[in-house]
Chains A and B, each alone.
Chain A
């Protein structure tokens, strides 16, 4: 059974069709990259997967459950937004502990430190207020929050946007490590290079439809770019 399964997903905003029949599946231990330009429907797809919005048509399931209807899903699904915004008056550890407690998970200080180190956040930053953090550092806290949940599914919306090359690379490594541990990851992005580096499978989303699916092992980044640009002209 696929960890993430989307079939014939359609969604309209007033007169504008955001999704026009999206089909995709993500297996356990797989990273799926949803590649598309702004307004292609990436964020809408993720929000439907999170249960923040309901689909007009089609079915969506995460671990066989329907998001938005089955509340037990929240503990299995982690979300990392494009811009992880934290409480500036809390330090890294406190933010991690706070968000975890909201999910009914108690994280000790030691566990929090270990999680942050695992996510690549240097120990000297753990007790600094997050108002002093860079975007990459906040991203790592976001991932640590997701890890603390022991979630099976990770949904990432433009995770590498605005990150410097080193931080992007670290993110890729981290996600690959998660996938190696059996986590299913759906990552929406318009960063062709990063998606090629991170994802196992890439779906090109254009005007609310997946036009093509590629296995990143089979193509180079420049091939993906050519294919992508070709489809964008359609």
Chain B
């Protein structure tokens, strides 16, 4: 008998059981619904990104209009002069945008834990209060989105229980096992084939579902590394649960006993272990109230209180080329704006190194979580899939680093241009926009 025929034969155990058919159809429906939900999140984010980009372009055009018409800034703010590098940069509408990744349709992960975009200025830090997420009802967010990764990682094992709990155990309870043994010769290969039918059906469904986002957004990302990785890890996850449940089936107990064993494993792997790990890590490293960050910000006064000579030495140690600028060549500066730029840069340097320390501490905390991967495989897969779709914690940290980096670039450019007394024109302004 060919494998196909065997599979066809064994599929009768699913197709003739109304409850299993309904469960399977509900699961299929739930996966499609979850992909649709993911798509709505993706679409919403894309719309917001377009709105922000449009708004940024409009305000940049407005500034270019000022240059063209010989204006120095908005009429109601006469103190603003965009020919000054500081104001030109201020009106540059620099944004860091948390870009969409096509796989976010399947795993939106932690995208709702941080803002989609942030306007970045010379004063921006990775921990600014305006980096807050979109408005949402937190009560609805307690267990995250109803996304594909949720369905696959949490509901799939429940579906497998429904499909598998009575494999062999029904025959045992009904006293059919001997008959099967006589007919099939080996009972092991007989019930393993039944498991195989389930595995193959769900694997095929997985492939179909993972292709759907491509159809929805009409982009070709089919054979890239992330997509293959996503499929691979989802597949491993499916076969992992099948293997686990197969071990239970091999013990050949009654239907109820098998169901209880399976649901107990589900409860432990999906609920109890992840919840314990979370509790443990949060007790050891409670979520920061960021008072340390306030301490960092409070340091500003002491930095501004240092003598100019000391400040300049520190500044030149970081930016050697500053010594060749117009104001770098001077021993002292009387212009408060130029002097302020020096202190601002020093303060930014301090913020920059401190924020990296903070970011690294978050990463370390996350590493503690990764060390639990062996006993907490479900959440490992969750974060792995989120990582592939750029919606995990590392993506959030990356956004924070990009804010830091952009703000640093702005700052660096500013101090050089301010100390060289650059007069900004539309060409220079456009260069600022490229930062």
A and B touch in the complex (CB under 8 A): no
